[in-house]
Structures are given as structure tokens and as C-alpha cells.
Amino acid sequence: MASDIPKVVPLTCHGHSRPVTHLSFSHTIDEDEYYIISACKDNNPMLRDGITGDWIGTFLGHKGAVWQSRLSADTAISATAAADFSAKVWDTYTGECLHTLQHAHVVRSIAFPIQANPQVLATGGAEKKLRIFDLSRSSGGGGGSNTSSPPLPPTGGENNSTGTSYEIGPGVHGGTIKSIVWNRDSNIVTTAAEDRKIRWWDLRSRRSVVETAVEGNIGSCELNTLATRPDNPGVLTVAAGKSVYLFDAITPGRLLKKADFGYEVASAAVNTESGRFVTGSAGDTWARVYDLNTDEELEVQKGHHGPIWSVSFSPDGKLYGTGSEDGTIKLWKACREPYGLWR
């Protein structure tokens, strides 16, 4: 059965000069307004209008490929993880660099709490260390309220010029940490590493509470939620090998579903409201849309000229973005009604 969503031409966002490694939408919707931030190997993460794809600004300062980028829950600040052995925290509105968090190796992943407090940040990468930074104790500039904060781990952190950092589970990760997800329960953080393990960590005990092995190399690991459904906790979506794994967002390690394919899945995103999920492949240039219940292929979106390394739904679920090796981002309509520039 073909998709019942009319096919329209996607919006193409130019500006990057090298492969797009990651993209992420903001959590908040304010009068039909939200944002998208992209990471790229050209060192220059970009902020765009999430509905139109229009360029808003570029965060300048990294001296290496940027592997991941995210917006805080209130969109007041942004964070980027890069190959120059640093993570940076930015004022989203001015573009000013508020903090530079130095690491001993390439930083591949970064995460803010879902709760509306941007003063806590998690990082991971080739150090094989999950680190939690308390930005409120940093001397690197920037401020903000400390309300609705996830609890920090017990004392014993490392103090330096970039604030207090805590390592969670030293020596456990057997490979580069490729993605970090802060759960609905602010005490729980999930990591996906190159040792093909998904781990759920309790920040209070600094221990892994669940560990799950996946078949194949991990391409993406994201918590897919919809701002229009605050009662729905969302789904933790993992692309690994030739499969997509869907985990319960509330109970650590609880597998809801595993979908298998005949190709290497590089990225995946789920929209529980529409009952659709989208994949990007490491071996071709297409975005494939599937029925969430039956795994039936509904649509094949063609337009990129390189593998799709990142897929993400907008906070209202009415469009999704794809970031590609070809250096472009495309926004695809995912709803039946007129929307955005497709009105």
C-alpha cells in the first residue's frame, strides 16, 4: 500500500560545504515556530528555521569536524561536539561561545536534559568516557536559572576552568560513544557506543542499570518525541547494522520492536502519531518511509546524492529532515494537510 500522504518536492537547505553528520530539531513549539541545528565536517554548525529551512546563523569557533549538535529544551543555548577535542556551548540567539569544554580526544556525542534547564550537559566520544558537566559552576561565561534541574551525581567531580565534570562508569565503554540520550527520567542517561552496546546509566549510582547488545555497527540513537503529545514518552530509536531497534522510553532496556532490512541502516526516526518511521542507508542515497506496525515500505524519497547519516522528525511530526554526505539538508513533508512552504 502506497503512502496516503501526497508527494511534494522537498525543501533543500544549502550552506554546508562538507558532509552533514547530524541534525536535531528543537523540542519547543511557539506559535508554529521551531528550529533545526546541524553538525557538519566543515567545522561550522548551523541554525535554521525548522519549518522553512531558512538559515539563521553559523556558530564559528571549532577547528575540526563537528559530529553532533543539539539545542537545550528552552532553545536558549546550543551545544556541539567536535573533532578538535572539545565541546562548545553557545548562546543560540547571539552566537557567542559561552563555554569550551576540553577533552583528551575527539568528542562525538552531546546531550542536554529534556527538562528546561540548560546548565547540565553530557558528553562522550573517543575517550570512551561518559562525562556530565555542571555548566553553572563554569568560569567560561554564560548563566541562566538552575530550576527544574536533573540531580547531579554525588560529589567527587573534577574541577577545572570549564566547570565541574563527573565521569559515569569509568572503564565500561569498549569503544567510542557515538550518541547520548537524556531520558524522561532525568536520572537516566542512555549511551550508544562502537562496542555495539546500548547502556542505560543511573546518574545517582553512576552505574549501568541495563546493557543491551545490538547486531552491527550503531549508526544513530535518538529519543523520538512529539511536543504535541506531552503525555507520550516517545520511543528510543536505534539504527544498527541492518536493523532498527525501538526501545521503551520509560523502562530502561525494554525492547518494543526490532525491524530488519536488507541494507545497512545508518539512521532512523519514528513518528508514533502518524505510525511511520524513516530510515537512511549507508549504501544508497534514499530515505525510506515505513509503516510502524507492519514494516511495509510506503515510500522511497529520492533527491540526495550521498548516504543519509541523520534523520529527525520536527517537534509536531509534520515534517522530517535528512542530513546527507552530499552536504545538504532536505525537509520532507510528512502530513496530509497544507503545511509551511507547501501551503
Residue 242: the pLDDT is: 97
Question: Could you identify the residue written with the cell 536520572?
Answer: 187
Question: Could you identify the residue written with the cell 563555554?
Answer: 99
Same fold, 1-33+215-343 and 59-213: yes
The mean pLDDT value for 317-332 works out to: 97
> Which CATH number is 59-213 given?
2.130.10.10
CA-closest candidate to residue 60, choices 27, 36, 91, 20: 91
Greatest Cα pair distance, the chain, in angstroms, is: 58
Residue 231: the pLDDT is: 80
Can you give the residue ranges of every domain in the chain?
Answer: 1-33+215-343, 59-213
CA-closest candidate to residue 190, choices 108, 146, 124: 124
The mean pLDDT value for 160-185 works out to: 87
The mean pLDDT value for 172-199 works out to: 96
> Are 100 and 88 a contacting pair, CB within 8 Å?
yes
For domain 1-33+215-343, the CATH architecture is 7 Propeller (2.130)
Residue 314: the pLDDT is: 96
The mean pLDDT value for 300-304 works out to: 95
pLDDT of 143 over the 80 cut: no
Share of the chain above pLDDT 90, in %: 80
> Are 343 and 328 a contacting pair, CB within 8 Å?
no
Residue 144: the pLDDT is: 37
* Residue 282 three-state SS: coil
More confident residue, 115 or 197: 197
Give the integer Cα–Cα distance in Å for 223 and 246. Answer: 10
> Are 71 and 111 a contacting pair, CB within 8 Å?
no
Residue 1: the pLDDT is: 44
Which residue type sits at 216? G
What is the reported pTM? 0.91
Phi, psi of 136 (to 5 degrees): -70, -20
